[in-house]
Structure 1
Amino acid sequence: MKTITIILLTLSILFSCNQKQKTPDAINKLPRIAICGLAIESSTFSPAQTTEDAFHARVGDEVYTYYPFLNEDSATRKRAGYFPALRGHALPGGIVTKEAYESLMTRMLAKLEANVPYDGVFFDIHGAMNVVGMDDPEGDMILRVRDVVGEDALISTSMDLHGNVSPQLAHQSDLITCYRMAPHEDAIESKKRALTNLLDRIEPGKGRPAYKARIPVPILLPGEKTSTRIEPAKSLYAKVKPMTQKEGVLDAAIWVGYAWADEPRNHAVVMVTGDDKKQVKASAEELAQSFWDVREQFEFVAPVAKLDESLEMALQSNKKPFVISDMGDNPTAGGAGDVTWTLKQILKNAAFQKIEGPTLIYASIPGPKLVEKALKVGVGGKVNEFAGAEVDNRYAGPVKLKGIVEAIREGDKHAEVEVVVRIGSARVIVTKKRKPYHHEADFTNLKLKPREADILVVKIGYLVPELYNMRGDWIMALTPGGVDQDLERLPYKRIKRPMYPLDKDMAEPDLSARFIPLSNEQKAPVEN
């Protein structure tokens, strides 16, 4: 009896040990996911250059602040072990210096190297970065990331729809997606989709999708003509999600591309990924043909006019605020943000030269020397100093601002210091460094009341949702700058031609699907 008891006890212990070996560490090991990327939209038609500090690079756990879906209690956070390396996001601007790019990449790659191996990489970029001496920075970036993480790791690329998808980027991306709305109200949703797609392939061991179809579409249009608020972009982008619901299709995306850079990769692209070759091919070709078919229907998202006409319309309107988009120097699209041409025209206008005139808020112009003087004299003091045109003086020189300081605010992430100067009935926001004004709080923090102003002039193109919902009426002014909306007067030399609308009578393009090799196969094909 004792012998039987000992045998049973031994078997029990062995069974127990075997069960302990099948712990989550052994069987349900969480995927190891790296997070990295650099994002900026940079114009090659602007004299400005972007330096490293503009990216406000976050490293390690700081990276999580970009992603609300990765807070500590979220289901997505619990699905994997995450290793944030470096993520930088700069305001759109001029071309990035080579020194800035190399420094950021050195830091990113060192962080990635410290935690290899990985099962996957969440590669979060914009897609319209331009770097001095480089044609395809994102293609270079993903290759260097791949060199660190190896060919077995899956890379899921998340992008802005105004980015560019080169053959190299398409080749090294195992999964790829972009926003489906402009303005980008679905930005966070799209980033989460890119990460979820990655986890959904890794967890069950599916690996990289078998097929990636890429179709270059020879169209180059600005975001102000391709907003999904209106047709035809609204219906065009509405076709994307149904494609992803087909059996054998994982994701589909349409990139409008970035119009203000003169590079061969700058044009529209359609990509579809999945495991069913026939469905992937058909879906990509349908989306590409749909885009081409509506090319002549794209119009500006709002009425457009020359600046003098825009001001006259605003002065005659009784709707508050009448918003004027100063489009040519829009810093949210890559403009230098310090072109003074529009502000000079406003201050010359007799309507705004007396304090009792129509109230106008102008946002904004960089003027570090004026800001320094304002800090000395304080609120209520007088200033008389030049501002603007330190970077882009092609259209007008610095503007002399002589007025009363009505507000000063320090500590803004982008502007650093903001000053409101009253000149006649106009309030001009002067910043130490350039800053786009998107939110009502950007104004109310300066004790301004934008909803009560007669006219609100902002350096922007199509209005972001908060400004759009605030408007009484709206016009987009055709003003000069590094992101000029009149593409036909930009000196393109290197983009692929023919290109619509620059070549309106071009022949029908080849919109058949090109299958891109998987990332662990041969090198990326060269685009014809």
Structure 2
Amino acid sequence: MSTNSAPTRPRVAIVGIHIESSTFSPQLAVADDFEIRRGSEILERYSWIEETWSQAICWCPIFHARALPGGVLVRETYEGWKTEILTGLRELGEIDGLFFDIHGAMSVVGLDDAEGDLITAIREVIGADPLVGASMDLHGNVSHELFTGCDLLTCYRMAPHEDALESRRRAMRTLALRVLSGAGKPHKALVHIPILLPGEMTSTRLEPARRLYGKIPWLEAQPGVIDAAFWIGFAWADQPRCTAAVVLTGDDARLIEKLASDWAQEIWDARHEFEFVAPVASMADCLTWASTAKRPTFISDTGDNPGAGGGNDTTCALAEMLTYELVMSGDLSAIVASLHDAASVARAVEAGAGGVADFTVGGVIDARDPGPQAITARVETIANDPLGGTTAVLRVLLRDGAETGLRVIVTERRKQYSDLASFTLLGLDPTATDIVVVKIGYLEPDLFEMQRDWTMALTPGGVDQDLKRLGHEKITRPMFPFDDFEDPALTVIMG
């Protein structure tokens, strides 16, 4: 008598540490900055986990940590998480694949290639046979070690990253279908391109990034091509791996080698076309311009953007606003969003809503000039923000107690004000405000829809848009736009 048993589903592990780290930020990233998931709770990240193709896989989630972009991760925390991942993989035993759910620009104290270190250690445990797929931010970095350790590499195709979830789903689906097909490892082609630019110069809203990323559907339509990906790279880390890159994956080695070479050359040839997504100027000049701009007017305080790793408490923008007569007189209304300042939040809570107190705000985490700013303010609102923690809105007052037009948001934890809901929670309406200063680079979709005029201030900070002010020392040279040099040999590395 024979018995029929159901076929065993392929087993695919899931691990990852997801953070974008500025090595120019003085603030270290610590464990408390991360949302940590273990086991089955990791699957909550993937709304598509019940789709038919996904159900054909036995997903084996082990460990995932994700944080708002920040500084360099402390080594002890990284090593602890790395050990947990490796232990979990050893206990899991034989697997068919692994999904590496990362950002791609994590920095760890003492390491120049954190993701490369992690995937190399993972391979030592799981061996060479399992298929490894990775989903990354296009502002990640593709080192030789990461390329070697992964079989299927892909990244976002939009900046701002409106396709982040779509890209993660695509990566998981491509990995799953490849495992299920039994087709084995594909060929892959990598080209490093000596270009290092901030994301605000490479938005897919504008040329040339729009057409360079727009070529991906054509590339993937070629017979024998599985995936095509283009990484801008991460400009605010000083590491040899920081550079633009393309990776093509497929079953036709000669074809993907040629396509990767041609695409990389096209990107290099377009290097002089990249420009900022909005007009740029000093903060003082941005305020002069704002006096006659359309309302609401948005100004990006770009150098301290917590969404790219800034400390979220530099005071260049605030200091200029405190001397801006049109706002200080109350003729114009303005919001500064925001300053990470737990001490000022505690002071606001002590004063209570409606209370008046003296504050010294900002300039503690990142003490670049002009440093902490002294203000007298009325506490208008105290609220609990899911990301920012306890948050207060301070209405700045003149010495005689008269109200200015300036409101300053202070937060218990780092927080990027990138959507309308964050303002609404505090009873603020940016659409009815004359000038809104946000610590951000290019405007995320909500803010982009709200603004009627917008400029970017080239402010100092850990994610300074003026890269030459930062002082990179470890990046591979020559590098555009740091150096003037002849066309490089864009070498294709096959794997």
What's the TM-score once normalised by structure 2's chain length? 0.96
Deviation at 1:128, TM superposition (A): 0.8
Matching residue's letter, 2:78 = Y
Which residue of structure 2 lines up, in the alignment, with residue 53 of structure 1?
32
CA contact (8 A) 1:369 1:385 kept: no
- Please give the alpha-carbon distance, in whole angstroms, between the structure 1 residues aligned to 2:120 and 2:284: 49
Which residue of structure 1 lines up, in the alignment, with residue 307 of structure 2?
332
- Please give the alpha-carbon distance, in whole angstroms, between the structure 2 residues aligned to 1:116 and 1:324: 53
Deviation at 1:381, TM superposition (A): 1.0
Which residue of structure 2 lines up, in the alignment, with residue 422 of structure 1?
395
Secondary structure, aligned partner of 1:99:
helix
Q: Which of 86, 95, 100 does residue 109 from structure 1 map onto?
A: 86
Q: Which of 346, 352, 359 does residue 378 from structure 1 map onto?
A: 352
Secondary structure, aligned partner of 2:322:
helix
Deviation at 1:61, TM superposition (A): 1.9
Deviation at 1:366, TM superposition (A): 1.6
CA contact (8 A) 1:60 1:84 kept: yes
Q: Which range moves more in the overlay, 136-145 or 394-403?
A: 394-403
What's the TM-score once normalised by structure 1's chain length? 0.90
Residue by residue over 1:287-344, the C-alpha shift from the partner in whole angstroms, topping out at 9 and shown as x without a partner, is: 1011001000000011111111111221212x22100000011111111111112111
Which residue of structure 2 lines up, in the alignment, with residue 289 of structure 1?
265
Q: Which of 473, 490, 494 does residue 511 from structure 1 map onto?
A: 490
Secondary structure, aligned partner of 1:56:
strand
Q: How does 1:35-50 map to 2 (within 5 A)?
A: 35-50=14-29
Residue by residue over 1:353-397, the C-alpha shift from the partner in whole angstroms, topping out at 9 and shown as x without a partner, is: 23x321101100022122112212221111212121111102222
- In structure 2, runs of 5+ residues without a counterpart are 397-403
Secondary structure, aligned partner of 2:248:
strand
Q: How does 1:258-269 map to 2 (within 5 A)?
A: 258-269=234-245
RMSD: 1.3
Deviation at 1:48, TM superposition (A): 1.4
- Percent identical residues: 47
Which residue of structure 1 lines up, in the alignment, with residue 57 of structure 2?
80
Deviation at 1:149, TM superposition (A): 2.3
- Please give the alpha-carbon distance, in whole angstroms, between the structure 1 residues aligned to 2:262 and 2:8: 40
Secondary structure, aligned partner of 2:138:
coil
Matching residue's letter, 1:179 = Y
CA contact (8 A) 1:120 1:155 kept: yes
- Please give the alpha-carbon distance, in whole angstroms, between the structure 2 residues aligned to 1:315 and 1:58: 47
CA contact (8 A) 2:287 2:324 kept: no
Residue by residue over 1:448-497, the C-alpha shift from the partner in whole angstroms, topping out at 9 and shown as x without a partner, is: 01111111100000011111111111001111111111112221111111
Matching residue's letter, 1:419 = A
Residue by residue over 1:233-258, the C-alpha shift from the partner in whole angstroms, topping out at 9 and shown as x without a partner, is: 00011112211121111111111101
CA contact (8 A) 1:42 1:96 kept: yes
Is 1:437 aligned to 2:417, yes or no? Answer: yes
Which residue of structure 1 lines up, in the alignment, with residue 221 of structure 2?
245
Is 1:199 aligned to 2:199, yes or no? Answer: no
CA contact (8 A) 1:33 1:118 kept: yes
Which residue of structure 1 lines up, in the alignment, with residue 185 of structure 2?
208
- Please give the alpha-carbon distance, in whole angstroms, between the structure 1 residues aligned to 2:108 and 2:442: 26
Which residue of structure 2 lines up, in the alignment, with residue 345 of structure 1?
320
Which residue of structure 2 lines up, in the alignment, with residue 126 of structure 1?
103
CA contact (8 A) 2:75 2:108 kept: yes
CA contact (8 A) 1:221 1:256 kept: yes
Which residue of structure 1 lines up, in the alignment, with residue 151 of structure 2?
174
- Please give the alpha-carbon distance, in whole angstroms, between the structure 2 residues aligned to 1:113 and 1:464: 41
Deviation at 1:39, TM superposition (A): 1.3
CA contact (8 A) 2:194 2:243 kept: yes
Q: Which range moves more in the overlay, 345-354 or 167-176?
A: 345-354
Is 1:392 aligned to 2:404, yes or no? Answer: no
Deviation at 1:109, TM superposition (A): 2.6
- Please give the alpha-carbon distance, in whole angstroms, between the structure 1 residues aligned to 2:356 and 2:368: 29
Deviation at 1:399, TM superposition (A): 1.5
- Please give the alpha-carbon distance, in whole angstroms, between the structure 1 residues aligned to 2:148 and 2:274: 30
CA contact (8 A) 2:22 2:237 kept: yes
Is 1:361 aligned to 2:335, yes or no? Answer: yes
CA contact (8 A) 1:370 1:383 kept: no
Residue by residue over 1:68-103, the C-alpha shift from the partner in whole angstroms, topping out at 9 and shown as x without a partner, is: 222xx4324312111111111111111111112112
Q: Which of 256, 276, 280 does residue 256 from structure 2 map onto?
A: 280
Secondary structure, aligned partner of 1:77:
helix
CA contact (8 A) 2:54 2:173 kept: no
Secondary structure, aligned partner of 1:364:
strand
- Please give the alpha-carbon distance, in whole angstroms, between the structure 2 residues aligned to 1:383 and 1:84: 49
- Please give the alpha-carbon distance, in whole angstroms, between the structure 1 residues aligned to 2:457 and 2:96: 49
Matching residue's letter, 1:300 = F
Deviation at 1:170, TM superposition (A): 0.2
Which residue of structure 1 lines up, in the alignment, with residue 379 of structure 2?
405
Which residue of structure 1 lines up, in the alignment, with residue 66 of structure 2?
89
- Please give the alpha-carbon distance, in whole angstroms, between the structure 1 residues aligned to 2:177 and 2:27: 42
Which residue of structure 1 lines up, in the alignment, with residue 400 of structure 2?
none
- Please give the alpha-carbon distance, in whole angstroms, between the structure 2 residues aligned to 1:115 and 1:169: 23
Q: How does 1:426-505 map to 2 (within 5 A)?
A: 426-503=406-483, 505=484
Which residue of structure 2 lines up, in the alignment, with residue 67 of structure 1?
46
Secondary structure, aligned partner of 2:364:
coil
CA contact (8 A) 1:370 1:384 kept: no
CA contact (8 A) 2:431 2:450 kept: yes
Structure index of larger Rg: 1
Q: How many residues are treated as equivalent by the alignment?
A: 488
Which residue of structure 2 lines up, in the alignment, with residue 8 of structure 1?
none
- Please give the alpha-carbon distance, in whole angstroms, between the structure 1 residues aligned to 2:393 and 2:91: 47
- Please give the alpha-carbon distance, in whole angstroms, between the structure 1 residues aligned to 2:146 and 2:420: 38
Which residue of structure 2 lines up, in the alignment, with residue 523 of structure 1?
none
Matching residue's letter, 1:415 = G
Secondary structure, aligned partner of 2:229:
strand
Which residue of structure 1 lines up, in the alignment, with residue 141 of structure 2?
164
